[in-house]
Structure 1
């Protein structure tokens, strides 16, 4: 196994992803008020101080003006040379505003901030600038003067979020969702690939593997993908070796079987026939047929040498359909054939013909009177359906009938004298053509076999 660095572990990736993402979002939202406060709060400039000093000068020279309501009113509605309304507020030693009865909330807030600042300052609110105080003495009392100017100084764009808390919360939730979505995709992609490969392997596709891009990942997902590919490779090798061994044994059995049949022929020629010899001859014929079936299954499964062609389905099946019609007539049964001539597909003709022949002959053998074979095009698939009105098969055995050497203990049983290889050969031939085969019972009685084949086979052998 590949040793992974601690930083490449999936746990560390998830921890850092969630922690950094949430920390950045929370930190950004938490730091915004502090940044805005530091940006809006500045020391009072010399120009602002001169304006306050100039405004306070008449009151220093004539303290009685502080008791003149008209003079104070004019002070509260002073206009600057550029036309902006400048308001001044004078407070006494008890911090009470003496020139206005209505004190805005922003000015009261500024008084609290200025006490903490401990120096003359200016503060930018959303729509106005307040600065001060300038302290002066009129008569024997001390006063402070402040100024409030409608103004909008340029502010960094990110201060917009501090002024719109709800929108900031929504954006933070969206960013958090995007982060979680990315992490979910990062985890889900290899898991989906593993699931697809597992399902393909379980359905019999021994070549199914996880994508190399996922196996090359340096985390636990990559290790899991590599382990799966190793397991799939071992299973494929084991199955191919088993199938090759079966084919090799079947092939090797033909030599002694041929000698046995030759010895039987010589014995019969010498008129040494007996019940025992006839029985040996019968069993030798059965053994030869079994070996032939095993060799056929081996060729279809692992050593197909046939070339793929694009041909009309009716043309490929013409010979077996003729034979099937003849066999049905001999048994006083009816065979309905509905295969349009315009249906064509990529396939291996001999393998496909053998598959259809096995199913069709089974249907003729077990049907009471009627058998049908139809073909249609459906969603870039060619669907072939074979039905009969025979006794059917137990539902629990429908998926098992395609396994080698399996014969159901039902009405379709050992009366045929077969070995349970016909439908196994059929399934192998259908898989060779990249198709699927399923069997189901028909109410009230009968069996339906559905074969789905792609019109185009992408991979050629």
Structure 2
């Protein structure tokens, strides 16, 4: 079986994750194995320069009889008289241990630390060193003094040292804080990786939301930011966006062309009917021809409007205050209702509507609201109410009337193109069955919803729900 060839680049997401994983793992190993050696209180073997330093110090102590003086003068005070340190407290002081493990020449303050150290370090072939707060003990070194019954001793050196800072000792004594240190060191690397992956993904999400809102603008950042794999995804997304825009534009142009082409035979039919009326006079057949041609002409106009709305909704979008959708429409409806002696009530339940905005085509949205309101004005008996409110970051526009209404099982189908509840009533009112279909199309293109149900006034209630614009 042949394995697939991998073409890895330095900017590849695979390479970045793999390299960062092993880099973090290497840092973790370094901290686990190296950092504990930095603890000055740990037992460490004397090597290199440090070992040679104490060997030299041992020779000097033998030549200057310091070690012999330690045996001769058992107390620390007497020892200091025979080999003063010239005011320097950092010079190692020799302390002897005989074969019975008796400590000779040690300060009373150092005895306890020396006992602990001697218990751990008693091999002159492998001398150790360790810091006890402010003193450092090193050794042992084997010496033969040639005295009777005291031929061999172990020599340890004690010197004053700067104490290790408390917070450093605290870290070494508590593994949890050592783990926290590892997390602090590795976090910037992991944050950088998460940021480098998350930034282009966020751009992709914003572009996807824009496409869902009908904005087909190509985002070149998707092809220029992030790892190679994410750039390729961004390029594919831009290609898809461009294809969708071309597909929708072609569809709308085709529908517009078909609608325009239908006008030619319709115009000829109207002209022929006019000539026949001039020759034969008015009759029922000509009246029927005129009625149907007018209905067909209105249907073609509605199809053109539907096509135009679909195209403009994608091309012409802006962010505007929500009240611009209904202000002019409701004002005109109030005037018309007054002329027809109808009751039109507006219930605006939004405080400061100018503070809320919508991203969309203001002309199309206003047309949708007007279409619903015109439908109510056409079928109402006496009363129409319009209610506007916001709930869960959604704008609701609800219009009720007291007309004949629609059966419950047909409330969903009235938004389908060319659907008529009552064909006879439609002929009387001049409807084509496209009005509410246009409304549904506009609202859906704005990521909203529209539905109908029986109104509490006895007629039809139509509710439009639209998402508010939220700053990204």
Is residue 54 of structure 1 aligned with residue 54 of structure 2? no
Q: Determine helix, strand or coil for the equivalent of 2:216.
A: coil
Q: In the alignment, which residue of structure 2 is the partner of 1:194?
A: 204
Q: Is the 8 A contact 1:110 1:130 kept in 2?
A: no
Q: Determine helix, strand or coil for the equivalent of 2:400.
A: strand
Q: In the alignment, which residue of structure 2 is the partner of 1:13?
A: 16
How has the CA–CA distance of structure 1 residues 349 and 266 changed in structure 2, closer, same or farther, with 3 Å as cutoff?
Answer: farther
Q: Is the 8 A contact 2:372 2:439 kept in 1?
A: yes
Q: Determine helix, strand or coil for the equivalent of 2:123.
A: helix
Q: In the alignment, which residue of structure 2 is the partner of 1:22?
A: 25
Give the distance between the partners of 1:397 and 1:76, measured in 2 at CA. Answer: 112
How has the CA–CA distance of structure 1 residues 77 and 171 changed in structure 2, closer, same or farther, with 3 Å as cutoff?
Answer: farther
Q: Is the 8 A contact 1:436 1:452 kept in 2?
A: yes
Give the distance between the partners of 1:76 and 1:27, measured in 2 at CA. Answer: 48
Q: CA deviation at 1:106?
A: 5.8
Q: Is the 8 A contact 2:197 2:227 kept in 1?
A: no
Q: CA deviation at 1:393?
A: 7.6
Give the distance between the partners of 2:390 and 2:116, measured in 1 at CA. Answer: 82
Equivalent positions of 1:14-413 (< 5 A) are: 14-34=17-37, 42-43=50-51, 44-45=53-54, 46-47=56-57, 49-51=59-61, 54-58=65-69, 65=72, 71-74=73-76, 82=87, 89-93=95-99, 97=103, 104=112, 108-109=116-117, 112-113=120-121, 115=123, 118=126, 123-132=130-139, 133=141, 135-137=143-145, 138-140=147-149, 141-152=151-162, 162=172, 165-177=175-187, 179-202=189-212, 204-207=213-216, 211-216=219-224, 217-271=226-280, 276-302=285-311, 314-315=327-328, 318-326=331-339, 329=341, 334-337=343-346, 351=364, 353-365=366-378, 367=380, 369-374=382-387, 384-388=397-401, 391=405, 405=417, 407=419
How has the CA–CA distance of structure 1 residues 153 and 428 changed in structure 2, closer, same or farther, with 3 Å as cutoff?
Answer: same
Q: CA deviation at 1:334?
A: 2.9
Q: In the alignment, which residue of structure 1 is the partner of 2:464?
A: 450
Q: CA deviation at 1:218?
A: 4.2
Flag structure 2 segments of 5+ consecutive residues without an equivalent: 1-5
- Using structure 2 for the length normalisation, give the TM-score: 0.70
Q: Determine helix, strand or coil for the equivalent of 1:205.
A: coil
Q: CA deviation at 1:184?
A: 3.7
Residues 356-395 of structure 1 show CA distances to partners (whole Å, capped at 9, x for unaligned) of 3211022334556532125579999986443335646869
Give the distance between the partners of 2:419 and 2:374, measured in 1 at CA. Answer: 16
Q: Is the 8 A contact 1:343 1:377 kept in 2?
A: no
Q: Determine helix, strand or coil for the equivalent of 1:207.
A: coil
Q: Determine helix, strand or coil for the equivalent of 2:258.
A: helix
Q: CA deviation at 1:256?
A: 1.8
Give the distance between the partners of 1:161 and 1:307, measured in 2 at CA. Answer: 59
Flag structure 1 segments of 5+ consecutive residues without an equivalent: 66-70
Q: Determine helix, strand or coil for the equivalent of 1:72.
A: coil
Q: Is the 8 A contact 1:75 1:87 kept in 2?
A: no
Q: Is the 8 A contact 1:77 1:87 kept in 2?
A: no
Q: CA deviation at 1:396?
A: 10
Q: CA deviation at 1:288?
A: 0.3
How has the CA–CA distance of structure 1 residues 393 and 35 changed in structure 2, closer, same or farther, with 3 Å as cutoff?
Answer: farther
How has the CA–CA distance of structure 1 residues 407 and 97 changed in structure 2, closer, same or farther, with 3 Å as cutoff?
Answer: farther
Q: Determine helix, strand or coil for the equivalent of 1:149.
A: strand
Q: CA deviation at 1:125?
A: 4.8
Q: Is the 8 A contact 2:95 2:105 kept in 1?
A: yes
Give the distance between the partners of 2:35 and 2:317, measured in 1 at CA. Answer: 71
Give the distance between the partners of 2:37 and 2:435, measured in 1 at CA. Answer: 81
Q: Is the 8 A contact 2:309 2:442 kept in 1?
A: yes
Q: Determine helix, strand or coil for the equivalent of 1:234.
A: helix
